């Protein structure tokens, strides 16, 4: 029998599984309500329990695997980070029951006006920078490598989905060669950086607002795709956030503060900030080119069109970096053509 649109076999299975833990944890099964989904197949639900609320994760096999989440949660908790505690698990079915870190992400708080209170904004973001350093001090051994081949491979979504599918622009042979050269430079520079544990999406939707004290340590979620990779990746994610716009002055302030915290904790950042800043910017360019491709794919293939709302911001980050280095001029020319940017008329003498 084919399920009707109103049927949700996985939700039924999740309710049944939660029922097995209801007495032990004081679960109120009728309170189960959706919290959110994300760009993957995972779904999250909140429900009442003895002493508060809990989060149920539905990660359907074979599309998702809960084992990395469980393993990395334990690793980060041992490193002193505020991450969800796994209270019950069924890896075969793809169900987890987690402690609830709160209802407000950094992104929620920003939408509620956190950025209008400079002192509070700085407390929370400096807390996020300190938490990032703690995350990077956790051992990355055993995690998949975020190496040159993978960095290069994931850039393929930019010409395929952003240029060709989203913009309808097919680069000519010369532009394709120039783009391949730029991709190679970005992947090589990133792969040459010192390697640490990389969250991969360390930004406002995945940081939970913590206590507004002097440390303001955030909760950290959505870490199941962590890799062993370039040290500048996560600070580039945070400062060049695809979901909220930060100007260059703010980006630079947080990059410097991160670099200072990292050096104080003995992380292998460059001794010269100017050198680190180039690594960070090039890393951000690699990430944001990939994001343009991913957001285009989420819209055109998966029907998740709201991701297109963030494209202007990401394009700005791309042009910000590409415009600063002569080696990326072919990329700017390609973007001007593909995005149909009007060219200013000038005079020649």
The lowest-confidence range among 12-21, 31-40, 130-139, 147-156 is 31-40
CB 286 within 8 A of CB 232: no
Is the pLDDT at 122 greater than 70? The verdict is yes
Q: What average pLDDT does this structure show over 63-77?
A: 96
CB 294 within 8 A of CB 311: no
Q: Which residues contact 210 (CB under 8 A, 6 or more apart)?
A: 82, 102, 124, 127, 216, 217, 218, 219
**Residue 344 has what pLDDT?**
58
**Residue 1 has what pLDDT?**
43
More confident residue, 64 or 215: 64
pLDDT band at 348 (very low <50, low <70, confident <90, very high): very low
Residues of the chain with CATH 3.30.200.20: 9-99
**Residue 3 has what pLDDT?**
47
Is the pLDDT at 45 greater than 70? The verdict is yes
Q: Which residues contact 343 (CB under 8 A, 6 or more apart)?
A: 336
CB 276 within 8 A of CB 269: yes
% residues pLDDT > 70 (the chain): 95
CA 88 – CA 90 distance, rounded (Å): 7
Per residue in 129-188, pLDDT (tens digit) is 999 999 999 999 899 999 999 999 999 999 999 999 999 999 999 999 999 999 999 999
Per residue in 76-108, pLDDT (tens digit) is 999 999 999 999 999 999 999 999 999 999 999
- Residue 82 CA from chain centroid, whole number: 17
Q: What average pLDDT does this structure show over 297-309?
A: 96
**Residue 256 has what pLDDT?**
98
Half-sphere exposure of 10 (CA within 13 A, CB side): 16
**Residue 56 has what pLDDT?**
97
Three-state DSSP at 84 gives coil
Q: What average pLDDT does this structure show over 299-312?
A: 96
For the domain 106-338, what is the CATH superfamily, name and number? Aminoglycoside phosphotransferase (APH), C-terminal lobe (3.90.1200.10)
Is the pLDDT at 306 greater than 90? The verdict is yes
Is the pLDDT at 70 greater than 60? The verdict is yes
CA 27 – CA 23 distance, rounded (Å): 7
The answer, yes or no, to whether the previous bond of 62 is cis (omega within 30 of 0) is: yes
Q: Give me the DSSP letters along 63-82.
A: T--SHHHHHHHHHHHHTT-B
Residues of the chain with CATH 3.90.1200.10: 106-338
Per residue in 177-208, pLDDT (tens digit) is 999 999 999 999 999 999 999 999 999 999 99
95 strand-pairing partners: 58, 90
**Residue 6 has what pLDDT?**
59
CATH T-level fold of 9-99: Phosphorylase Kinase; domain 1 (3.30.200)
Model pTM?
Answer: 0.93
Per residue in 205-251, pLDDT (tens digit) is 999 998 777 778 999 999 999 999 999 999 999 999 999 999 999 99
Q: Other CB atoms closer than 10 Å to residue 272's CB: what's the count?
A: 10
């Amino acid at each position: 029998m084919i399920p009707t649109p109103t049927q949700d076999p996985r939700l039924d299975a999740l309710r049944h599984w939660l029922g097995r833990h209801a007495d032990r944890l004081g679960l109120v099964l009728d309170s189960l309500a959706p919290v959110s989904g994300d760009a993957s197949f995972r779904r999250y639900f909140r429900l009442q329990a003895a002493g508060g609320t809990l989060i149920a994760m539905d990660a359907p096999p074979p599309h998702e695997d809960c084992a990395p989440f469980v393993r990395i949660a334990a690793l980060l908790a041992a490193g002193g980070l505020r991450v969800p505690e796994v209270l019950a698990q069924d890896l075969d079915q793809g169900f987890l029951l987690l402690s609830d870190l709160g209802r407000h992400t950094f992104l929620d708080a920003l939408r509620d006006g956190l950025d209008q209170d400079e002192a509070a904004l700085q407390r929370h973001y400096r807390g996020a920078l300190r938490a990032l350093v703690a995350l990077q001090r956790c051992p990355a051994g055993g995690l998949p490598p975020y190496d040159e081949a993978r960095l290069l491979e994931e850039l393929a979504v930019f010409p395929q989905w952003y240029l060709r599918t989203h913009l309808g622009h097919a680069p000519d042979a010369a532009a394709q060669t120039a783009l391949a050269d730029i991709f190679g430079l970005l992947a090589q520079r990133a792969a040459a950086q010192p390697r640490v544990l990389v969250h991969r999406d360390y930004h406002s939707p995945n940081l939970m607002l913590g206590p507004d004290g002097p440390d303001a340590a955030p909760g950290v979620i959505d870490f199941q795709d962590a890799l062993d990779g370039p040290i500048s990746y996560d600070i580039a994610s945070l400062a060049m956030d695809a979901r909220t716009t930060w100007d260059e002055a703010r980006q630079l302030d947080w990059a410097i503060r991160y670099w200072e915290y990292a050096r104080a904790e003995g992380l292998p950042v460059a001794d010269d900030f100017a050198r680190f800043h180039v690594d960070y910017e090039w890393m951000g360019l690699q990430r944001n080119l990939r994001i343009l491709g991913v957001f285009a794919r989420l819209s055109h293939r998966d029907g998740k069109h709201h991701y297109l709302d963030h494209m202007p911001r990401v394009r700005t980050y791309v042009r910000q970096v590409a415009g600063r280095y002569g080696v990326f001029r072919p990329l700017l020319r390609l973007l001007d053509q593909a995005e149909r940017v009007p060219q200013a008329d000038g005079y020649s003498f």
